[in-house]
Structure 1
Amino acid sequence: MSKIDEKTYKCGMELTMDVIGGKWKTVILWHLRSKTLRFSQLKRRLGSITQKMLTQQLRELEEDGLVNRTVYPQVPPKVEYSLTDYGKSIIPVLYSIYSWGIDYAKDFDVNLDIDDLILERIKNRKI
């Protein structure tokens, strides 16, 4: 049972933050926005996340209907993660958050380790 099934929310923002809030969930959703990834691929992209935390966050996103987990019956086991249609519906919001972060970094002189080509694609994307 998902934690959201056990709670009554006062507003949509509270529910949204409960579903996607925290340090890693939006970043996981961001990396899954354009392709299906295996656990190890996600782990590599996220860098400092622990295996335990990634597992927990993926389970919660799956329970809340944002991520699909597909297990292939083979040896060694192959598990892939992708966004559900509902997970895909939050992509425009993630692009807005990403763009806001870029603007914030520029305005407050925060260092970002980001490829300029990627930055231009994001900034010029029509949402």
Structure 2
Amino acid sequence: MAVETRIMNCIMCPLGCEMTVTIENGAVTGVTGNTCPRGPKYAHDEVVAPKRMLTSTVRVNGGLLPLVPVVSKTTLPKERILDCAAALRQVIVEAPVSEGQVIVENILGLGVDIVASRSMEVHQE
């Protein structure tokens, strides 16, 4: 039975508690140091299936700027972030772009949309 202890900072609230997480055979068996009930859930998710938001940019044809910022609508599996970023490098959208507009639907089949995080007007000459 492999027992591991990890120290991690919780990011679920502004307190940023330093937690000690005990892991036995890949499963979280104990969490200490958290001051709110969200800590153990965060620790479990971070150990078992870490997820992250993705923020990036995509190219825009005919926009005021050459790039528009985008963000994942929800979290993505951490191990797929670089794959998603690589996929976004291939995306080109046409201006105008509206904030919240879906830029890539269901990126890499992960069930998460990539949306514009700001509007981009058409470049007028």
TM-score category by the smaller chain?
under 0.3
Q: TM-score, normalised by structure 2?
A: 0.21
Name the structure, 1 or 2, with higher relative contact order (CA <8 Å, separation 6+).
Answer: 1
| Larger Cα-atom Rg | 2
Q: TM-score, normalised by structure 1?
A: 0.21
* Higher fraction of strand: 2
* Higher fraction of helix: 1
